[in-house]
A and B are shown apart, each in its own frame.
Chain A
Amino acid sequence: MSGASLERGLQALREQMDTPVAAFFSSCVHCGLCAEACLFYTETGDPRYTPIHKLEPMRRLWEQEYTLPGRLKKALGLARPVTDEELEAWRPLVYDACTLCGRCSLVCPVGNDLVYMIRKFREGMAAAGHAPEGLIGATTRAVKTGSPMGVTLKALQAQARHVEQETGLEIPFDREGAEYLVLMSSMEVINYPEYLAAITRIFHRAGKSWTISSEAFEATNSGIQIGVSDIAAELVQRVVDAAEKLKVKTVVSPECGHAYMALRWEGPNLVGRSFGFEVKHILEVLDELRREGCLPLEGQETVRMTFHDPCQLVRRGGVVEPPRNLLRTVAAEFVEMNDHGTTNWCCGAGGGVSANEEADELRLKAFHRKKRQLEEIGAEALVTACANCRIQLEEGLEANEMEIPVIGLTELLADHLAAAEQESGESS
């Protein structure tokens, strides 16, 4: 049988129920505090956006199939079954109004990891055919063309040639035995070619060998956003195959939050084995280079700079200190927003929301949280490390007529790279 169906969705959910889920649902006392942690609620005041409410159909299925009182209720015909209509009604809550940012998981008094459950709920929603059009399109493109935005290898190669001309440095494709395999996100290829130029210059300056695979350059993973582990695994497998074929030591996730999370934390679990290489975010690599002394920087920015934490990188990824260590070296006036680090507020477009046109209006409303945060500290420049965040931030700032430049941290560092002492001695 192919095609989505309610039964396939419910079966997918049955697979997803595990001990943590049961512990979480058992513990929720409906205190409502998760609402205050969710920017979709705080920026709209719509109670339907309360995180635990977004999980209600899944909770009922758990209760009816995995608890004794629930089984009894079901046997007596007192339990309301989960229906297609209900799942369809929940689609905007689960996909449009959740960026998987995980702030609710951090504040829940009983310790429920709500986003862990939303991620699982999406498995059921997708298998039941209730994923949003935009995400289905992105996922289909990712599987069929290799990029959710339809970016082809040719487009990347064209951009690489352009960067090579600009920097006078080589961009090595498919070089076996390189230390780093650099991945890209489609958004960077399309919107931020500066990133590729920046890492080319940095790796060159640091004297590290690196490469790009022509077979797997896309780091993002729509399978995770839409909530289909089978597809997510397929996308991860492409990277694993390329990395192992080229025998690289480290795969470098680009400036993208969920790409890092997908590869670093979900990846081995999706493909069912640990990798023969390490996965690092570009900021982790840069911070290591800085510590090793391979990243000589000079000059400082004098404007009031702040850092927007990409949720999947920081709260859900654990890369908290590297961006700060790096930014402090080049920013004379680095100010933190009031909620930052693991308690940051999402930009409003993560978790597949940016690929989902139905959520366009809502995500710009959600941006108001970031707007207030920026205004509170009077930021003059906003640095981040996620292309997806960056687009949303730029759009949001523009919509609110705020003149604050948004800068990728890697580019900023590349701009402050100290001039090489023996330029003439360098060959490649």
Chain B
Amino acid sequence: MDAAELLLWARGPGLLLAVGIFLFGMLLKLAEILLLGRERNLAPVRASGVGAGFRTVFRRSFSMDRSSLKTSLFVHLAGYAFHLGLLAAIFLYTPHVQLFGALTGLTWPALPSPVVDLLTVIALVSLMALLWHRLTTPVLRLISTGQDYLAWALSFFPLLTGYMAYHHLWFDYDWLLAIHILSAELLLVFFPFTKLSHAVTLFMARWYNGMMAGQRGVQS
């Protein structure tokens, strides 16, 4: 198989397979969670939890506990840097915007490529730092499972291969592009079945947390 064939497979059947599995898995995951059900609250509430739920969905992205911020400044900084870099690389890079446009019919403005490039470097460096942190911190060593490292690798490789393809590093561009697309497809395929899906389910988690606290009159 040559690069062109691999690339064509990645852009064609591979992509469709990955998108299909991703959608299948996500619907499965969401249904598994939502259909489980929960008990209705019978205690008279101080306020409807709905608004509080949505507030928490939004605010948890920014609200930080002062004490933890002091003790884990590194995780906060690296975590933000990685997530922002990853999101920018995925959603604000021109070729990707084009891809989402073709898949969904929606387009939005992209960032200049060198800016995405810089953010990608930041994300890569943060990810490596976070891996080092995971491997050396007692708490993280204790609670980390194989899935955490799998999720790390699945996030790291599309970024790395994308960066290499953009800069034509070490290998032919066609190979890099093909491998980059395949690595992103691997990410899509694993997404619903690993904790990568937190990117979607965290909105539910925050909503339930905020809603239940909100009913008690607490801004969570």
Chain A residues engaging chain B, CB cutoff 8 angstroms: 17-24, 26-33, 35-37, 41-42, 45, 47-48, 50, 52-53, 56, 66-69, 103, 105-113, 116, 264-269, 272-274, 278, 314-320, 338-339, 342-343
Contact = CB atoms under 8 A, between A and B. Distances in A.
24 contacts: A18-B37, A19-B33, A23-B205, A27-B195, A27-B198, A27-B205, A28-B198, A29-B198, A30-B144, A36-B71, A37-B65, A47-B143, A67-B32, A68-B28, A68-B32, A105-B209, A110-B198, A111-B57, A111-B210, A113-B220, A265-B43, A314-B218, A318-B216, A342-B219
Given A31-B75, A112-B209, A113-B212, A22 B198 contact: no
Interface residues of B, number: 57
A19 B37 contact: yes
Nearest to B203: A111
Nearest to A269: B42
Given A23-B33, A108-B205, 10 more contacts: A18-B39, A20-B212, A27-B198, A37-B67, A41-B139, A67-B29, A111-B207, A315-B218, A317-B216, A343-B65
Interface in B54-74: 56-57, 60, 64-68, 71-72
Which secondary structure dominates where chain A touches chain B? helix
A36 B72 contact: yes
Contacts of B145: 30
B42 A110 contact: no
Contacts of B213: 105, 113
Interface centre among B36, B140, B141, B209 (most CB of A within 10 A): B209
Interface string B21-49: 00000001100111011110111101000
Contacts of A111: 56-57, 60, 202, 205-210, 220
B138 interface: yes
A47 B38 contact: no
Given A47-B138, A266-B43, A106 B65 contact: yes
B38 A20 contact: yes
Given A19-B33, A116-B212, A264-B43, A110 B219 contact: no
A28 B65 contact: no
Given A29-B195, A36-B68, A110 B205 contact: yes
Query: Which 4 pairs across A and B sit closest by C-beta, in order of nearness?
Result: A111-B206, A318-B217, A268-B42, A18-B38
A273 B151 CA distance: 44
Given A19-B37, A29-B148, A111-B210, A35 B43 contact: no
